[in-house]
Structure 1
Amino acid sequence: MYVDFDKIPQNARIWVYQTNRQLTDNEASTIENYLKPVVNQWAAHGASLLASAKVLHNRFVIIALDQSFNEASGCSIDASTRWFKELGDALNIDFFDRSQAYLDGIEIKTFSVFQSKKAVESGLISPDTLIFNNVNLSILGDLANKWQIKAFEAPTLKRFFAKDLV
């Protein structure tokens, strides 16, 4: 069953899908309009799931599931993955982008996770650059305090900064 995103509890399980490019407002609206009915029908072994979906920063799609109602199963998680495969094919968007997103002023940019050391050495990423830490998120409340962090705090980046600089 679909519920408004702001009605989902902070301890709800989340999945973050990062797009490979900035979405237009129209694409973000299309994605939310597509997800509302499929989330409304989402089930685990025939049991309805209480969940929501939201596009954030026109770059990330968050699926939130209230596990106190019912928990997701492997099959239901696979079904949600298929939603994004279908959406991606229809809109020419990769929702499974694994690059590192960061803020450059007010713009969200990315670099390959395989180029992390080079991004730091070249000065593209400083210790204080805000990055989107999608890796360590598990509940909705994590968006408020673990999602946007300074690069020197990121498990994937901190080793590239000199100890005396951070």
Structure 2
Amino acid sequence: MATIQQQLPADFHPQSRVWIYQSNRPFSEQESKEINEQLHQFTSQWLSHGDQVKGWGTLFFNQVIVILADESQAGVSGCSTDSSVRIIKSIERQYDVNLFDRLLLGFLVEGKVQLLPMVQLLYALEKGKITPETVYLNNTVQTKAELENNWLIPLGESWLKTRLQQAL
């Protein structure tokens, strides 16, 4: 399987902006294909004040939408950000999913996303369901460089480490 870095467009600036939307359920193979087509369609026509935005989007792990905007040529305005949110809200309605629940933590277990409500984090640690080494989806990353280096990280190296220290 290709690494995240290998799947991202190589010609995008490391400081390209990133938006991550994690679904509350995995998409089927057919849904994933349709969503990737919608993301391609959106990014190929994405405009900011009439200028083409160099954009890219895909679905990772059949559950996590990642959108990139390379602002080295044209910046992304508030209106163009709003248009990206509209496509995400459209996908939510179309597939009856929640893509904006920031209290749902994602972990990568055997190549699949496993979700855990933040309020259950300490319980899951105490019961050994997850450990500080479990791969966490750090959906707070904001640039392509951060996506490549800090998106899939051990839980113990994430912003949640202070909560872990309380539990351990």
TM-score tier (shorter): 0.7 to 0.9
Equivalent position SS for 1:134: coil
Residue of structure 1 in register with 2:116 after alignment: 111
Distance in structure 2 (CA, Å) of the matches to 1:120 and 1:71: 42
Structure 2 unaligned spans of 5+: 1-7
Q: With structure 2 as the length reference, what TM-score do the two structures score?
A: 0.85
Deviation at residue 118 of structure 1 after TM alignment: 2.0
| 3-state SS, counterpart of residue 144 of structure 2 | coil
Amino acid at match of 1:37: Q
Mapped to 2, the partners of 1:157 and 1:142 lie a distance apart of: 18
Match of 2:65 in 1: 61
The equivalent residue for 2:137 is 132
Gaps (5+ residues) in structure 1? none
- Verify the 8 A CA contact 1:120 1:161 in the aligned structure 2: no
Deviation at 1:109, TM superposition (A): 0.4
Q: Deviation digits for residues 5-38 of structure 1, max 9, x if unmatched?
A: 4433333111111111112221111011112222
The corresponding residue for 1:123 is: 128
Q: 1:107 to 1:38 in 2, by over 3 A?
A: closer
* TM-superposed deviation, 1:141: 2.0
Aligned counterpart in structure 1 of residue 32 of structure 2, from 22, 28, 51: 28
**1:90 partner SS:** helix
Q: Quick check: 2:138–2:150 contact (8 Å CA) kept in 1?
A: yes
State the one-letter code of the partner of 1:114.
V
1:70 aligns to 2:74 (yes or no): yes
Over the aligned positions, Cα root-mean-square deviation in angstroms equals 2.0
1:94 maps onto 2:98 in alignment: yes
Deviations 1:117-148 (A, max 9, x none): 2222222221111111111x111122221011
CA distance in 1, matches of 2:49, 2:84: 14
Work out which of the residue numbers 100, 125, 146 in structure 1 matches 2:150. Answer: 146
Residues of 1 paired with 2:159 and 2:107: CA distance? 14
Alpha-carbon deviations, 1:135-163, whole Å to 9, x = none?
1x111122221011111111124432369
CA contact (8 A) 1:32 1:54 kept: yes
Match of 1:43 in 2: 47
Percent identity among equivalent residues?
28
Q: Given that residues 132 and 164 in structure 2 are in contact (C-alpha distance below 8 angstroms), is that contact kept between their aligned partners in structure 1?
A: no
**Pick from 12, 17, 40: which aligns with 1:8?**
12
